[in-house]
Chains A and B, each alone.
Chain A
């Protein structure tokens, strides 16, 4: 009796087998495929940066995936710090980033509050103008002419004004959508207590905007921190930022094949951002996703 399986037991075993086959997909295949894909698509490029940054100039002459015969990452990083303008470029990047992000967030949310609360044709037109910059490309050549006319060409102030103008639309778009989800009764309660618009905005609205402002801060910081195109036109040659300096190092280096220095620079400039992101990833990812699809 025992060695002969009953039909029911056979059926049961078959079902168990199909279940395990179906379970194989999520429990084994999906994680393995995903990890391999991550290693290939992100791991290989990052590995290239790391090993090349660790090689001597001769070994890095033709950069590939091989390990350096002797790791000299420390020496290369020190050489980059010494030979490139990475220190001033870092300060330049901070000087551009902080005021532009602050200005665009404060002015943008003030405007967004009004645009979200008012209605009518004028509001609709102004809203359309306000978000036009999300889509329209900045007129970068004539911007330089305008900055010259204003006496701001080549200066940090000119660059900050440019970034503020360029990313205003992004803030207006995100924040207007968010304010519309905030019930107006909250404001009315404060108004009944005698609060004017300034108090209502700073005490009621601004604190409520924290999640959307956090998302906008991250996005715009990424854009400004990594920008090279507009910086080349506006301050290129007269001020340095990290990408501008990398561009200068690489443009000089490609002829000399200084790949070890280029990738040491990339490492120095990207690592802080990656660490920052890894620490705050949970809130950053949820912020960006809630901002994009509501």
Chain B
């Protein structure tokens, strides 16, 4: 917006904030981010594959094929369950750690660094570590056997019902350090006088947490839940490295399906699933964007 009281020099020099500065960023965004997204809406309706030289439109065939095989509903359900699970557990872990390590003691500062290590190492490496730990003859069963006194040989990654929960917990483990940091930052913003006043009024520690502290860190909760929910919709590495989508495709997230289908040369089908992922995220994201925008506005 041009202010009416500009100096003549400014008028000659043009706007002090020319759009030219924003052009390169938006050019990159337009070409390498938005264009492929628009392509999603086109190629999902074609027979694009590695087996044909020409690409021709096929209408809704890809959708009806995927729906008929059950792959569409199954992968979407698994992805949504995964995202919801990660949103819950990553935040429980993160908040728990933040409350545990809240005071600025030397040992707490050290442990915050330790709990951030999983965030630093690659998800793929984390996946292989847990694949090794969770084998029937692996480290977890070894620990449990020592505790129980009898041999434990649970196949933690072998259940078609419960393995999804195990990979959710691994994903939550990998990113809990990030949530912890955000919650710690949130807890730091709480005015100590509010807590002192509540303590004098005889509020129990549990009530203090649920009624006073958690409501006061609402922005951190919003940020953490949103990033965990939407970020995990796009998950791949951890599940690929631990289960590869199994057992019985019970952990096959949309991205695993897309990767596998792409590898088979069925590009249009992979695109269709990519479009489904996109639409699922958009559907979930609008309320979340609203919250983030509101936060941005209150920030200024």
Partner of A135, one of B126, B236, B285: B285
Q: Answer yes or no: A81 CB below 8 A from chain B CBs.
A: no
Q: Which of A169, A243, A259 contacts B124 (CB 8 A)?
A: A243
CA distance A169 to B32 in the complex (A): 12
Contact of A99 with B by CB under 8 A: no
The listed residue (A128, A130, A137, A222) touching B281 by CB distance below 8 A is A137
Task: Report yes or no: A165 in contact with B29, Cβ–Cβ below 8 A.
Answer: yes
Interface SS majority for chain A: helix
- Measured CB to CB, the nearest residue on chain B to A118 is B17
CB distance from A180 to the nearest CB of B (A): 5
Residue from B22, B137, B188, B271 within 8 A of A115 (CB atoms): B22
| Interface-located stretch among A1-9, A10-18, A67-75, A283-291 | A283-291
List A contacts of B288 (CB < 8 A): 135
A residues 95-122 in Cβ contact with B at 8 Å: 103, 107-108, 110-111, 113-115, 117-120
Could you tell me if B185 and A293 are in contact, using CB atoms closer than 8 angstroms?
A: yes
Which of B67-75, B138-146, B157-165, B192-200 touches A?
Answer: B138-146
Does A269 interact with chain B (Cβ within 8 Å)? yes
Chain A: residues with Cβ within 8 Å of the partner, total of 102
The answer on a CB contact under 8 Å between B129 and A45 is yes
- Any chain B CB within 8 A of the CB of A266? yes
* Chain B residues in 8 Å Cβ range of A187: 16
Distance (whole angstroms) from the CB of A11 to the closest CB of chain B:
21
User: Closest chain A residue to B288 by CB distance?
Assistant: A135
The chain A residue sitting closest to B177, CB to CB, is: A42
Kindly state the separation between the CA atoms of A288 and B94 in the bound complex, as whole angstroms. 15
| Neighbouring A residues of B103 by C-beta, 8 Å | 26, 30
B-side contacts of A273, CB under 8 Å = 120-121
Query: Are the C-beta atoms of B281 and A44 separated by less than 8 Å?
Result: no
A8 to B184 alpha-carbon distance, docked (Å): 43
* Residue A35 CB within 8 A of the other chain: yes
Name which of B7, B118, B121, B270 has the most chain A CB atoms within 10 A of its CB: B121
CB distance from B183 to the nearest CB of A (A): 9
Find out whether the CB atom of A197 lies under 8 angstroms from the CB atom of B17: yes
Interface residues of A in 164-189 (CB under 8 A from B): 164-166, 168-169, 172, 176-177, 180-181, 187
CB-nearest residue of chain A to B29: A168
Name the CB-closest residue of B to A249: B128
Is B204 located at the chain interface by the 8 A CB criterion? no
- Whose C-beta in chain A lies nearest to the C-beta of B289? A135
Cβ distance B86 to chain A, nearest Cβ, rounded Å: 15
Contacts of B130 in A (CB 8 A): 45
Q: Tell me whether A130 and B26 are in contact in the complex, defined as CB-CB below 8 angstroms, given that A135-B281, A226-B122 are known contacts.
A: yes
Interface residues of B (CB under 8 A from A): 1, 7, 9-10, 13, 15-19, 21-22, 24-26, 28-29, 31-37, 39-40, 42-43, 48, 100-101, 103, 105, 107-108, 111-126, 128-130, 132-133, 135, 137-139, 142-143, 173, 178, 181-182, 184-186, 188-189, 219-220, 223, 230, 233-234, 236-237, 241, 255, 258-259, 262, 267, 270-271, 274-275, 277-278, 281-282, 285, 288-289, 292-293, 296, 299-300
- Which residues from chain A sit less than 8 Å from chain B, CB to CB? 26, 30-31, 33-35, 37-38, 41-42, 44-49, 52, 62-66, 103, 107-108, 110-111, 113-115, 117-120, 126, 128-131, 133, 135-146, 161-162, 164-166, 168-169, 172, 176-177, 180-181, 187, 191-192, 194, 196-197, 200-201, 222, 225-226, 228-229, 232-233, 242-243, 246-247, 250, 259, 262-263, 266, 269-270, 273-274, 277-278, 281, 285, 288-290, 292-294
